[in-house]
Amino acid sequence: MNAKKVTIDMLYEQMKWAFIFLSVILLIQISFTVISLLKEFSRGDFLLFSYNSTPIFMLIIGIISAYSFLPTYVKQGVTRKDYFLGGTLSGAGVAVGLTVSSILITLIEHEVIGLLNAETQLDTWTNQMGGTWLSAFVFYCFSIIIFYYIGWLIGVGYYRYGWVVGFGFIAVAIVFMMVTDFLWESEVWKNSSDWLPLELSHISVMLSVVGSLIVITVLLILIRTITRRIRIKM
Amino acid sequence: MYKIEAKEVSVNYKDFQALKNVSFSLEGNKIYGLIGRNGAGKTTFLSLLAAFQEASAGQIQVNGEDVFENPEMMEKIALLYDVDYKDETEKVKNMLEVAKRYRPNYDDEYAMYLLERFKLPLDKPINKLSKGMQSAFNVVMGLACRTPITIFDEVYLGMDAPTREIFYKELLEEQTNRPRMFILSTHLVSEMDHLFDEIVIIDQGEMLLHEDYESLVSKGVSITGDADVVDQFTQDKEILNEQRLGQTKAVMVYGTLGNDELEKARDNGLDVGPVSLQDLFIHLTDGEES
């Protein structure tokens, strides 16, 4: 079954990129930690810090998925359906991989800081996200998975319709990002809550998960509809 | 053995019809030559066979099954063409790895042999290869995949003459050892005609003819001899092409000669020979080859 092979191959390739990405972010975080110890300012832990850039990373590899993997696989006789399944599963796999790695790095970070008895105040992601590692995992993972699918949607939209219509896909993508942010109460929601006549800031995690699953389903249906009969450019 | 059947296939782009009601069938382990002028619809036609796109109307089947999105059929068909590799930073060996994983008949040893034959480096990114080497890489990929249906769409572009010779030689060698169906589209008719078992000519989106090579080239004759005698002999015939060197003239004529005509030609001291596919092609598609 080619879908399985595509999943494994895409996952392997994308995890390589994720590894490089994480290494860079980790180096920056370590530098910040050293500086903060010397200059005594507060900063976020690794999970909090990495969340600044991980969604963008996921968005970009989602876009790349359309442009590099789709033509490569179809040219090797893989069906669009198998590519779609492979892309869907590998995207989720990368999200889980990145989340687990980030949580592990963060746990180690807290350990090390504790062992050093360092006088540093860490803002933690877990505190902001309900206080447990599980809620942190769910939040982080769902947010970045959605970003991957949003990137993928932009990618396949551009690939199929060219850049003029492609801009429309960016508009659609922004709407999806706002919905995602809204679901998980981050910046956009915090900003828009000033003018939205609703008081929804206490949506439970359960509701966020269900909402995210709906967003993911809609995204995947759109991606599949666009790629079902897509013409491979020569 | 594989059989490709197209039934009333049309492809419409926004404001023009690239293929119009094309029907044909290709069968068996043969080398098919697909020829047609620029924009005749060759590439569109080949991209349908390889499921790169779907026909706007009609059906393309292999052994009675639709090709588009059919995993069993798609893995058996490979289309190699003049790819723009300027952004392809993957190394030669990694590109072959992908083929190895997804093409059930891929032969690693054979690929390595071909790489050596074309003097291609394993460790170099594709976009760092010369144009000719990139084309040779496509040939290696197509041959080594050993897909039962292998399509080369003007894959020789950028290759110099000696490299093209290697390509032709390896192709024939492979066809002798492990026969399969090859479809080659080309502009270099005179250079490649010796490869073809059967010829398909497409013109302006329509199938013009599909015949085996021998019977196609026997549709015309070349008559060579003294210019005046040749002119007199061919005056009521359909002339494809003529060349003159001093008092000697060679004229390609469309149509066959009867026994008495053959005798008459011999009596007049004229040489009668076969016509070239190139001349027939130019005549049939009505104009100078571009």
Contact B102 A76 (CB under 8 A): yes
pLDDT above 70 covers what percent of chain A?
A: 85
**Which residues of chain A have a CB within 8 Å of the CB of B78?**
76-77
Q: What is the mean pLDDT of residues A160-185?
A: 88
CA torsion sign for B33, B39, B44, B45 is negative
Query: Which chain A residue lies closest to B77 (C-alpha atoms)?
Result: A77
Q: How is residue A65 annotated by DSSP?
A: I
Full residue range of the structural domain in which residue B117 is found: 3-212
Contact A78 B102 (CB under 8 A): yes
Name the domain count of chain B. 2
Whether B204 and B225 map to the same domain: the answer is no
Which helix H or strand E contains A163, and what residues bound it? helix A133-183
Contact B102 A79 (CB under 8 A): no
**Which residues of chain A have a CB within 8 Å of the CB of B76?**
77
How far is A44 from chain B, CA to nearest CA, in Å?
37
Q: What are phi and psi of B239, to 5 degrees?
A: -90, 130
Question: What pLDDT digit, counting tens, does each position of A82-130 carry?
Answer: 999 999 999 999 999 999 999 999 989 888 888 876 666 666 666 665 5
Which of these, B83, B85, B96, B82, lies nearest to B155 by C-alpha position? Answer: B82
Q: How confident is the model at residue A206 (pLDDT cuts 50, 70, 90)?
A: confident
Contact B70 A79 (CB under 8 A): yes
Q: Which residues contact A176 (CB under 8 A, 6 or more apart)?
A: A146, A150, A153, A215, A219
Contact A78 B74 (CB under 8 A): yes
Whether B208 and B226 map to the same domain: the answer is no
- What are the domain boundaries of chain A? 2-227
Whether B189 and B65 map to the same domain: the answer is yes
CA B122, B124, B126, B130: dihedral to nearest 10 degrees? -100
**Which residues of chain B have a CB within 8 Å of the CB of A72?**
98
Res A198 pLDDT > 50: no
Whether B119 and B170 map to the same domain: the answer is yes
- Regions of chain B short of the pLDDT cut 70: 287-290
Whether B184 and B40 map to the same domain: the answer is yes
Q: What is the pLDDT of residue A188?
A: 40
**Which residues of chain B have a CB within 8 Å of the CB of A82?**
71
Q: What is the pLDDT of residue A184?
A: 74
Q: What is the pLDDT of residue B188?
A: 87
Whether B189 and B56 map to the same domain: the answer is yes
- What is the C-alpha to C-alpha distance for residues B15 and B8, in angstroms, rounded to an integer? 20
* Ramachandran bin of B205, using left for φ above 0, alpha for ψ from -120 to 50, beta for the remaining angles: left
Q: What is the pLDDT of residue A125?
A: 63
Q: What is the CA radius of gyration of chain B?
A: 21
Domain boundary (B166, B187, B212) is at B212
Q: What is the pLDDT of residue A193?
A: 44
Whether B63 and B133 map to the same domain: the answer is yes
**Does residue B280 form part of some domain?**
no
**Mind giving me the DSSP string for B134-166?**
HHHHHHHHHHHH--SEEEEESTTTT--HHHHHH
Please name the amino acid found at residue A17: W
Whether B124 and B265 map to the same domain: the answer is no
Instruction: Give me the residue from A72, A82, A232 closest to B98, CB to CB.
Output: A72
Q: Which residues contact A29 (CB under 8 A, 6 or more apart)?
A: A46, A49, A50, A109
Contact B77 A74 (CB under 8 A): no
Count Cβ neighbours within 10 Å for each residue of B188-201 and write b for 16 or more, e otherwise. Answer: ebeebbebbbbbbb
Which 62-91 residues of chain A touch chain B by CB within 8 A? Answer: 72-82
Contact A2 B75 (CB under 8 A): yes
Q: What is the pLDDT of residue B171?
A: 97
> For the domain that residue B253 is a member of, what is the CATH number?
3.30.70
Best of B53, B60, B149 to disrupt the A interface by mutation (most A CBs within 10 Å)?
B53
Whether B224 and B202 map to the same domain: the answer is no
- What is the C-alpha to C-alpha distance for residues A58 and A64, in angstroms, rounded to an integer? 10
Whether B132 and B151 map to the same domain: the answer is yes
Best of B49, B66, B69 to disrupt the A interface by mutation (most A CBs within 10 Å)?
B69
Q: What is the CA radius of gyration of chain A?
A: 19
Token pair 């066809």 in the structure block, residue:
B175
Q: Which residues contact B107 (CB under 8 A, 6 or more apart)?
A: B144, B146
In order of A113, B146, B281, B283, the CA distances from B33 in angstroms are: 72, 18, 12, 17
3-state secondary structure of A39: helix
Q: Which residues contact A157 (CB under 8 A, 6 or more apart)?
A: A165, A166, A168, A169, A172, A226
Domain boundary (B161, B192, B212) is at B212
**Does residue B281 form part of some domain?**
no
> For the domain that residue B164 is a member of, what is the CATH number?
3.40.50.300
Contact A229 B51 (CB under 8 A): no
How many beta-carbon pairs below 8 A join chains A and B? 56
How far is B126 from chain A, CA to nearest CA, in Å?
14
Instruction: Give me the residue from A2, A9, A232 closest to B71, CB to CB.
Output: A2
In order of B152, B156, B173, B204, B275, the CA distances from B168 in angstroms are: 12, 10, 9, 28, 22
Which of these, A192, A195, A95, lies nearest to A149 by C-alpha position? Answer: A95
**Does residue B261 form part of some domain?**
yes
Best of B19, B52, B95, B145 to disrupt the A interface by mutation (most A CBs within 10 Å)?
B52
- What is the C-alpha to C-alpha distance for residues B211 and A40, in angstroms, rounded to an integer? 85
Whether B88 and B195 map to the same domain: the answer is yes
